[in-house]
Structure 1
Amino acid sequence: MSKIVFITGASKGFGKLWAEALLQRGDKVAATARNISALADLKEKYGDQILPLKLDVNNREETFEVAEKIEKHFGGIDVLVNNAGYGLFGTTEETTEQQAREQMETNFFGSLWVAQAVLPIMRKQKSGHIIQVSSFLGLTTLPLLGIYNASKFAVEGLIETIGTETAHLGIKTTLIEPNGYATDWAGTSAFQTSADISDYNPVRESFSEATNSQDIWGNPEATVQPFLDIIDTQNPPQRLLFGKIAYHSIHEIYTNRLKDIENWKEVSIKAHGA
């Protein structure tokens, strides 16, 4: 049975790749982007199967208007793929107030506004699945991505909470947590802070060396079937890491965290009081 899927940030990267995969198998897709001309090829190829809509996720009012248009056009929304977002590279100290606010505005508040816009529709249906594209950097951190890390940590808490609030209504949530992939996320789609504090040059050099290895970047095409599997399963995971770097990094980090928790168990319990 075909599904009605609403994808944000569908003009390129994961968004466009996954939108076409859904269209190829017969699903109906509402694909949104700031510039919908990037979706013209999909519209020409798939016709009425796709509904391209202009959306700036930073505009809360617009997100509600778009959700209403999708419901009216297709009759509902089975799946939301909250994919819009971007990376901000630079040390925390070098980040300006405007850069920090804009990063949180899109990555966190944009995800919140879209989720709030679809929840009334899903509540009415008594069904739905919110898939949030997060990052393995919502579970750990890398230097030079401090505000991006923070935005994804915030998104993780948001979507997990929504899942606990809506499970009894038949609404499910899943956080997809990719490592770096060979999309333009770290290229033209990314923003840079001004690198003018020389004390951080060793950190920048180390980061550059580590990220120059081609082996750390996943193949975007390899995500298509896992993405479709998440949509199709009756019991989707609350979280799913995408990529071997994400898996090995998070496995090691959580193993060490559990050790620390156990090593300091008595102190933790003592801190509770009587």
Structure 2
Amino acid sequence: MTAQTWLITGVSSGFGRRMTEQLLADGARVAGTVRDLDSVADLKAAYGDQLWPAALDVTDFPAVRRVVDEAFAELGRIDVVVNNAGYGLFGAAEELSDEQVQHQIDTNMTGSIQVVRAALPHLRAQGGGRIVQLSTYGGQATHPGASLYHASKWGIEGFMESLAKEVAGFGIGVTIVEPGGARTGFRSGGSRLAEPLAAYDGTPAAMVRGIRNAPASVGDPAKMAAAIIASTGRTPAPRRLVLGSDSYRFMHDALTERLAELETQKESAATTDSPVA
């Protein structure tokens, strides 16, 4: 791991920060993007040229390509590209503004897509690499009051699953990370709430209004960051990396329910086939 070079978006906090700290301590080089360079000034001071910081808002799509191109030009081979930048948007679909909807999709889904599209020519040219996409168990299971957050994560997971099949022949592996709740500050500082509508008071969707006061999560962010880093040494790349007992439980329950519902329609699905010629 120590000889590798990583590109990670959103390294000012959360998993991005934890991964960057661990990688730098192990001697790796990290190209880390943040919206405010001051947020990583301490890491730059401590590690010098090991850290290549760049200011970037992933919703600025032309800037995404420019920064990714610059990172490869400056650092040469980049072994692992991590899409970490993102945030949670919570509230019933009707409570959200058009601007909130667009920004959630642009940040969590389209921004990640554009990072990958910018990196792929470089990864192909160097003969391979690894793409890691931070998602959540909410990319496979859902809760009321998080419809747009789930939309962004289900969308990026579909993109990454297809991408993995497109680029495997170039030696590029793709892993979707499915963390459960972790003590990263996601609920307190990394999430945004819609303006509540009285019509949703007392409904299941209103439960998310108390997300910032919810009990502490069970996940250890340092252990999760270490697991993500370790996964990049596995060949072939794991398609999904489930982190946290809560993540496993929510995903298992959701997939079991979906499969059971599908099985009930095995016979009826066939009734719409065209007659065999």
* TM-score normalised by the chain length of structure 1: 0.94
* 2:129 paired residue number: 128
Runs of 4+ in structure 1 displaced over 3 angstroms? 204-217
1:193 alignment partner in structure 2: 194
Contact 2:58 2:107 in 1 (8 A): yes
User: Which whole-Å CA distance do the structure 1 matches of 2:211 and 2:58 have between them?
Assistant: 32
Change (3 A) 1:50 1:34: same
Please state how far the C-alpha of 1:254 moved relative to its aligned partner: 1.4
Q: Rate the CA distance shift 1:182–1:116 in 2: closer, same or farther, 3 A.
A: same
AA partner of residue 113 (structure 2): L
Q: Provide the aligned C-alpha RMSD in A.
A: 1.8
Once structures 1 and 2 are overlaid, which stretch shifts more, 82-91 or 201-210?
A: 201-210
CA pair 31-211 structure 1, distance change in 2 beyond 3 A: closer
Q: Is 1:54 matched with 2:82?
A: no
CA deviations 1:80-114 (Å, max 9, x no partner) are 01000111111111111111011101111110111
Secondary structure in 1 matching 2:94: coil
- What is the CA deviation profile of residues 21-57 of structure 1, one whole-angstrom value per residue up to 9, with x for unaligned ones? 1111111100111011111111111111110111111
Q: Deviations over 1:189-247 (max 9, x none)?
A: 21111002233433256456798663644221221321121122222211111111110
Partners of 1:216 and 1:75 lie apart in 2 by 39
Q: Once the two structures are superposed, what CA deviation does each residue of 1:52-83 show, in whole Å capped at 9, x if it has no partner?
A: 11111111111111112211221121110100
Match of 2:87 in 1: 86
Write the letter of the residue equivalent to 1:177.
E
Does 1:41 find its partner at 2:73?
A: no
Between stretches 191-200 and 113-122, larger displacement belongs to 191-200
Match of 1:167 in 2: 168
AA of the residue aligned to 2:244: G
Q: Is the 8 A contact 1:82 1:131 kept in 2?
A: yes
Q: Is 1:68 aligned to residue 95 of structure 2? A: no
The separation in 2 between residues aligned to 1:145 and 1:20, in whole angstroms, is 30
Where does the alignment leave 5 or more consecutive residues of structure 2 unmatched?
none
Deviates more, 1:167-176 or 1:247-256: 247-256
Aligned to 1:255: 256
Q: Is the 8 A contact 1:94 1:197 kept in 2?
A: no
Q: Which residue matches 1:146?
A: 147
Q: Which amino acid is 2:105 matched to?
A: M
Query: Residues 140 and 154 of structure 2 are in contact (CA less than 8 Å); yes or no, is this contact kept in structure 1?
Result: yes
Which region of structure 1 is more displaced relative to structure 2, 223-232 or 82-91? 223-232
Q: Is the 8 A contact 2:92 2:206 kept in 1?
A: no
Quick one: distance in 2 between partners of 1:258 and 1:268?
Answer: 14
Q: State the partner residue of 2:177.
A: 176
Supply the distance in 1 between the matched residues of 2:234 and 2:254 (Cα, whole angstroms): 28
In the aligned structure 1, how far is the partner of 2:114 from the partner of 2:207?
37
Mean CA deviation greater in 171-180 or 220-229: 220-229
2:92–2:146: 8 Å Cα contact kept in structure 1?
yes
Alpha carbons of 1:208 and 1:64: their partners in 2 closer, same or farther (altered >3 Å)? closer
8 Å contact kept, 1:30–1:51: yes
Identify unmatched segments of 5+ residues in structure 1.
none
Q: Is the 8 Å Cα contact of residues 91 and 208 (structure 2) preserved in structure 1?
A: no
SS of match in other structure, 2:197: coil
